[in-house]
A and B are shown apart, each in its own frame.
Chain A
């Protein structure tokens, strides 16, 4: 993610951004359903945002 802050080229930025995002999504998809349920919970402190 740090690397993204140093990219100045627009196309290169979005390419790196999408790659990073896909990696994160794949990681989240591989979690167990139990873990996913924990991630999904909206904490009371987040409810009013």
Chain B
């Protein structure tokens, strides 16, 4: 089923409704670690301007996809779109995402370093629980550079990472 969503997203990229996208959230965690059951699919969308976001939003509305809460239902899968207009981190994560194939369908998944940074931003219990295992796969130099750029007072990624490292 996710393959159908991926095909649709690739189509949206071809017809230039979106510039690029990458899989994040639990599905990206599952790419690197073991799978855990989840309700939705998190898709990071590259959005350069408000105009781009408007085009994307209008398309979703006109295409007749059902909207349920914060999700767009595509082929029975609740998809949570995270547009780059929300935070510059999202665009950078999509740009640097890893190219993969699912049943030979090309797609992208966040690199483990950007995935960890996104989990440090959300920092819910379920995010904190998977970070230690992901850290084993990460390039700490790359991760620290990402964190330095995107840490701020509201989201102290550096302090959050430090707390996780101290707990190991």
Contact = CB atoms under 8 A, between A and B. Distances in A.
Contacts of A10: none
Q: How large is the interface on B (under 10, 10 to 19, 20 to 34, 35 or more residues)?
A: 10 to 19
Interface string B99-112: 01011000000000
B38 A36 contact: no
B35 A28 contact: yes
Contact of B2 (A29, A31, A37, A47): A37
Contact of A40 (B3, B37, B103): B37
B39 interface: yes
Contact of A37 (B33, B34, B35): B35
B147 interface: no
Nearest to A25: B34
Contacts of B33: 25, 29
Interface in A1-49: 25, 28-29, 31, 33-34, 36-37, 39-42, 46-47
8 contacts: A25-B34, A28-B35, A33-B102, A34-B3, A37-B35, A40-B26, A40-B27, A47-B39
Interface of A: 25, 28-29, 31, 33-34, 36-37, 39-42, 46-47
Given A41-B1, A41-B37, A42-B39, 8 more contacts: A25-B34, A29-B34, A33-B30, A33-B102, A34-B103, A40-B30, A40-B35, A42-B37
